[in-house]
Amino acid sequence: MENMIVVLDFGSQVTQLIARRIRELNIYSEIYPFNYPVSEIKKLEPKGIILSGSPASVYDKNPPLCSKEIFNLGIPILGICYGMQVIAKYFGGKVVGSHKHSIHREYGFAELIVKDKTSLLKGLKEKEIVWMSHGDKLAKLPKGFKILGLTEKSPYAVIENRNKKIFAVQFHPEVVHTRNGKKILSNFAVNICKCQKNWTAESYISKTIRDIRQQTQGERVLCAVSGGVDSTVTAILIHKAIGDKLVPVFVNNGLLRLNEEKRVLNMFKKLNIKINYINAEKGFLKRLKGVTDPERKRKIIGNYFIEVFENFAKKRGKFNYLAQGTLYPDLIESVSVKGPSATIKSHHNVGGLPEKMKLKLIEPLKYLFKDEVRNIGKKLGLPDEVIKRQPFPGPGLAVRIIGEITKERLNILKKADDIIVDEIKKAGLYYKIWQTFGVLLPVKTVGVMGDKRTYENVIALRAVHSNDGMTAEWVRLPYDLLNRIASRVINEVKYINRVVYDISNKPPATIEWE
């Protein structure tokens, strides 16, 4: 693809941020493993290449290294942190390591003194705040390179070889802690690589619709929808491309939130997309009877979903295509020193359906990040209640009922969870919090209601802040809000007499309880 930046991933935990920052500039970017063949990179015709950071050291026995041939492609290259060390290794620089000199470690904020503003650091101030996170660092300038900027502990914090169009920084411009990091990446992508800013939601929508038409050639496409933003945007894009050749299926497994099935059906009705609705609640609950092990629950739900979906497909004749709302982070397995070949996960939103049913996949969102999907959803006319909706687990309330799942316990949690979300929305916090939900615990406690002793269930309230679900911090909800939630849940939901608040972070805890 022309007009793109390729990011080679050496295993940094923030590699995805590099691609996201480039895309925020309306320039397309994709991530590939550090040892991606040069012949394949050539086919992509990128305007530039960025070498990511890494937890590895060039001193390791088998350090992750890209082919030296990429430096002969004649396109600009930017090395970030470990990427700088790779450049130094190939061009005669010297790297000193923290394994020998602990004093060289540099982590946290640092002040960058800008010496040259004519290329990579154009438009920056004399002094800038940057974010350092490294053990090894450059101690001798590679041949043909010059210094553009330095910090107190890193005399070669920014370097360039303008003739070869190779640049490197010791810090991380992709993280928000580097105040003008986006400007640096813009200088590289726009000024140095000469990329056009034509990566927009509108261009993606029109191109994707054309691609789907070309791929399907008038054939029908089977698509599972849940009402979440990913599957909904997927369905809309395909419907715009092929109309009623799209066969969307909504399976009600009985583990949804209160009145969720009505909301989903009404939403698709407004979108003029005809949904095939299957109420399989009885079948799911029958198979989950007596099951308490979390992994068994998940497998039963996944396997029966496939069975229900398969039975529907058989009744409707042969299908060759299955659509899924797979996102780019689902495809990217962050490359580590253990090996880059795991960059692509065998991830499918719908279990083993593609393999079992011999279906070809259509994944219109597979190169998008979540925020990009939301932006496209907005352009497609989806309301905020869908676009900004808090994530909901695939197995539904099954992972929020600890112990056996019964119709009665489901009803208790549905009502309690609905009150929690309602109060969070009234407080104006719903769109500011990553996830808010209730968990039904497998314990009963003593209480007093109406001068009578009770022995009823406990609801745990969970509210967390997170960017991607990988880490999470518990939310300091106002005491008066906690009081309102607890009072309403105990007073309005039969068989609940106690509410507790989960104040665990991830790690060490997880967001969900199962």
User: Among all residues, which ones are annotated catalytic?
Assistant: 81, 172, 174
**Cα–Cα distance, 256 to 224 (Å, whole number):** 15
Spatial CB neighbours of 18, under 8 Å, sequence gap ≥ 6? 7, 29, 31, 50, 52, 80, 174, 185
Helix, strand, coil shares, percent, the chain, to 5: 35, 25, 40
- Which tokens sit at 3? 């007009």
- Which tokens sit at 277? 């609705």
CA neighbor of 420 nearest in space, from 477, 472, 379, 368: 477
**Cα–Cα distance, 76 to 80 (Å, whole number):** 13
Q: Between vectors from CA 377 to CA 375 and to CA 381, what angle results, nearest 5°?
A: 115
Cα pseudo-dihedral 449, 454, 457, 459, rounded to 10: 30
Burial group, residue 202, by CB count within 10 angstroms (0-12, 13-18, 19+): exposed
- Which tokens sit at 53? 């950071």
The DSSP element (H or E) to which 128 belongs, if any, is strand 127-134
**Cα–Cα distance, 328 to 509 (Å, whole number):** 26
For residue 41, the number of C-alpha atoms closer than 13 Å in the C-beta half-sphere is 28
